[in-house]
């Protein structure tokens, strides 16, 4: 194992407290700090110490892919680390977004290569399923809720312009696609009026609408002419307690609202946005990849696998995530195969593989190669361990 140093993305929605506090730096930070990236994604690779300086993990892996990644991972994913570990810290809502499946990503990347206008939806040929585990209270929108519930909420607003959307929702799950299409393709000249009418109605009905009225106000304050404010009312609003997770497979429409969590994902940066953002939006492509299915239970509870160890099972082979807690249990051995990315979120721990040990304080990270065998954690604290899934 060796220390890993991750870059921080300064997206505007980021917190000025969460990541700085985790790493023991002064609060508030000079600017927003949205994501701490721990991995070998070419867009922002983490680094390790080499010969008195720091070298990008991408370079280390490229010099010995089979030794670092292991033959199992290279045969399945090629000479690249197939997963990325992040700390996500949202002080403001993120965009309405979804990610493509593997086949859509490959086809979309090839199609974008052939375009002549310079615009890209797909920046790599990989899918991007995600799992986020809350470090503190966290709120998100995740998947479509029962259309009957959404129809009742929208009807209660008494906004006549929403009539066609209500007609679509009356068809149940079969009408979700049409309802979303109607809203995201709302005439540009009329968007501000629609959001203003919904906002006014939700304020009037705040005592009845409750969380839905609060959601409209939160989003409309930042995006007063974006019909994504109304699309948000079609989604599950999720409140995560620490340790609870949400799973975002391909085609799942979602948006983080606020809070801090540990996120593990396939190592891709393919994001299709439909609204609530100032970044590139491609509604047609988003609608093409969305899965218009009702998600009854978006929250994933941790599953114990051993004393001091929990996981959140996911149906992909790109990654697995475990949380290891030591103190009451003085030492835990994790037998999942490497390579590993390890993040300490509290206390001080010693993390050792069969190559070398490393000591991590809160906010520090480490990386270990597939040659390391098993992983042993001791001390008093908590770490998250990302590794390949079962290939």
Which of the residues 273, 280, 291, 328 is marked catalytic? 273
Q: With CA atoms as reference, report the closest residue to 100 among 290, 359, 360.
A: 290
Active site residue 16: no
CA distance linking residue 368 with residue 350, whole number of Å: 13
What sign for the dihedral angle of Cα 216, 218, 221, 225?
Answer: negative
Q: What angle do CA 313, 319, 323 make, to 5 degrees?
A: 60
Q: Using an 8 Å Cβ cutoff, are 133 and 261 in contact?
A: yes
DSSP string covering 241-263? PTT-EEEE-TT--EEEEEEEEEE
DSSP string, 187-237: -GGGHHHHHHHHHHHHHHTHHHHTHHHHHHHHHHHH-TT-THHHHGGGEEE
Long-range contacts of 148-156 (CB under 8 A, 24+ apart): 148/172, 150/179, 150/233, 150/234, 153/209, 153/212, 153/233, 154/230, 154/233, 156/205, 156/208, 156/209
DSSP letters spanning 118-139: ---S-SSS----EEEEESS-EE
Structure tokens at 122: 């797909």
Burial 142-174 (b: 16+ CB within 10 A, else e): bbbbbbeebbebbeebebeebeebbebbeeeee
* Longest alpha-carbon distance in the chain: 68
The catalytic site residues sit at: 273
């Amino acid at each position: 194992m060796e220390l890993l140093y991750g870059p921080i993305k300064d997206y505007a929605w980021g917190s000025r407290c969460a990541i700085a506090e985790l790493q023991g730096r002064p609060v508030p930070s000079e600017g927003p700090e949205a994501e701490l990236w721990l991995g070998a994604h070419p867009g922002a690779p983490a680094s390790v110490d080499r010969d008195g300086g720091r070298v990008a993990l991408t370079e280390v892996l490229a010099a010995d892919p089979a030794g670092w990644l292991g033959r199992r991972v290279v045969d399945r994913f090629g000479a690249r680390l197939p997963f990325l570990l992040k700390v996500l810290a949202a002080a403001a809502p993120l965009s309405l977004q979804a990610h493509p499946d593997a086949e859509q990503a490959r086809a979309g990347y090839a199609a974008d290569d052939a375009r002549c206008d310079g615009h890209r939806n797909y920046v790599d040929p990989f899918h991007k399923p995600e799992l986020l585990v809350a470090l503190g209270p966290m709120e998100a929108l995740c998947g479509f809720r029962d259309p009957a519930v959404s129809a009742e909420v929208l009807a209660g607003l008494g906004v006549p312009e929403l009539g066609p959307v209500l007609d679509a929702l009356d068809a149940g799950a079969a009408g979700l696609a049409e309802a979303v299409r109607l809203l995201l393709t709302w005439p540009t000249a009329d968007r501000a009026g629609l959001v203003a009418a919904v906002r006014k109605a939700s304020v009037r009905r705040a005592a009845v609408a409750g969380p839905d009225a609060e959601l409209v106000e939160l989003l409309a304050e930042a995006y007063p002419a974006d019909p994504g404010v109304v699309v948000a009312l079609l989604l599950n609003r999720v409140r995560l307690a620490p340790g609870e997770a949400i799973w975002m497979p391909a085609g799942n429409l979602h948006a983080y609202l606020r809070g801090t969590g540990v996120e593990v994902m396939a190592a891709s940066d393919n994001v299709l946005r439909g609204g609530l953002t100032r970044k590139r939006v491609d509604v047609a492509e988003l609608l093409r990849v969305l899965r218009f299915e009702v998600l009854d239970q978006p929250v994933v509870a941790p599953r114990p696998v051993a004393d001091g160890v929990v996981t959140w099972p996911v149906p992909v082979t790109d990654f697995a995530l475990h949380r290891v807690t030591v103190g009451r249990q003085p030492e835990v051995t994790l037998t999942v195969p490497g390579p590993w990315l390890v993040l300490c979120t509290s206390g001080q721990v010693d993390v050792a593989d069969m190559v070398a040990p490393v000591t991590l304080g809160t906010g520090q990270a480490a990386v270990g190669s597939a040659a390391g065998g098993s992983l042993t954690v001791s001390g008093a604290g908590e770490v998250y361990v990302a590794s390949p899934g079962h290939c």
